[in-house]
Amino acid sequence: MPYYPLSQIKSNLYTDGSEYVLFSTGEAYTGYYYEVADGKRYTGKTPQEGSNNLLIKDNPISSTSTDPQISVNDEETTPLYVNIALPNVDLDPTTNQYLPESINTEYFQLNKNQSARRILPQPNIIPPKPQDYSLGVYQRFFCKKNNENIYFEINKTTHKKLVENDPSIAFDLYSAISTLWYLKGRQSKIYKSNRGLIELIERDQRWLGFSQYFRNNYLQYYKFKNKINLYTSGGKFKTQTIPNYIGFYHTHNGISMVGKIHTNTFHEILIPIIKPSFTQPKTSKTIYTTTTNRANSMSGGGNSLSGGGGY
């Protein structure tokens, strides 16, 4: 996420779960969030406090929304196109289409079998299905723009076209990988396994900043079990005003909150008290697959990161 000065951040905002959903999972979000100057919203009271997961409106189709419109389904999205450079051809600045009077008809007669446009890969998030949870793992597909550090998730069909250098898609401008993503097991182990795998891809493929795309959300799609009537005698949580919380609490979508049960009224989020640890996490050895296109030599030209995100 880009840096924003404090004057461009609205912090300590709160939602009761009826306004926004997590961009990464589509699940309703209850808790603190902050809003930056361009209208995007992230989880946490401030960029320094929270997981910084992107939030989108519960009905993202609204034409007034400033949130990115990313498809979250199993279907192909409406294709975007990239125009192939043609000699003696001008573009209409309002429509980004070729002006008919500027087209060299002789060129097209000589190249009538060559298409004037190709599909661009598009962000397409495919959540795991029930059978994936039965297996405990599923396959995800990601894409990188070769001349910039821009990443986003794609579907299996787009991945296949990029891998096979399908002429209908801009395969020379993008590279793709597929990787396993763990869903079931001990929470700490799932987190370390998924993080280790992404860091391995980032290092081996030299995908600079790929791990930042996930915003530390390596438990994405992990099914948390909501718990009620829990109690802490101290040393485990704190709040914004209480350095050592003692009392009843519950968990909702993996977030600990004050109170015996979850309600729609305001109740504070509990912040874990972090104890110093010197344990070095192990790197996952899971196999992933990748495709390298001929334009990979252009890699590393930029430093911007996609928001999806994550995925």
Q: Each residue of 29-38: b (16+ CB within 10 Å) or e?
A: bbbbbbbbee
State the chain's mean pLDDT as an integer.
75
User: Which pLDDT tens digit goes with each residue over 105-116?
Assistant: 444 444 444 445
DSSP secondary structure string for all residues of 111-137? TTTS-SEEEEP--B--PPPHHHHHHTE
> pLDDT at residue 311 above 70?
no
Residue 207: pLDDT over 80:
yes
274 — pLDDT class (breaks 50, 70, 90): confident
The pLDDT, as a whole number, for residue 255 is: 79
The pTM assigned to this predicted structure is 0.46
- Res 208 pLDDT > 80: yes
Question: What pLDDT shows up at residue 52?
Answer: 81
**What's the rounded mean pLDDT across residues 220-229?**
82
SS3 of residue 179 by DSSP: strand
Stretch (H or E) spanning 231: strand 227-232
Residues 285 and 96: their CA atoms lie apart, in Å, by 46
Q: Is the pLDDT of residue 142 over 50?
A: yes
More confident call, 277 vs 123 = 123
- Section 290-297 average pLDDT: 45
Q: Are 114 and 85 in contact (CB under 8 A)?
A: no
Work out the pLDDT band at 45, boundaries 50, 70, 90: confident
Contact 138, 183 (CB under 8 A): yes
Q: Is the pLDDT at 160 greater than 90, yes or no?
A: yes
Counting residues of the chain whose pLDDT is more than 70, the rounded percentage is 67
184 vs 83: which has the higher pLDDT: 184
Task: Output the pLDDT for position 279.
Answer: 52
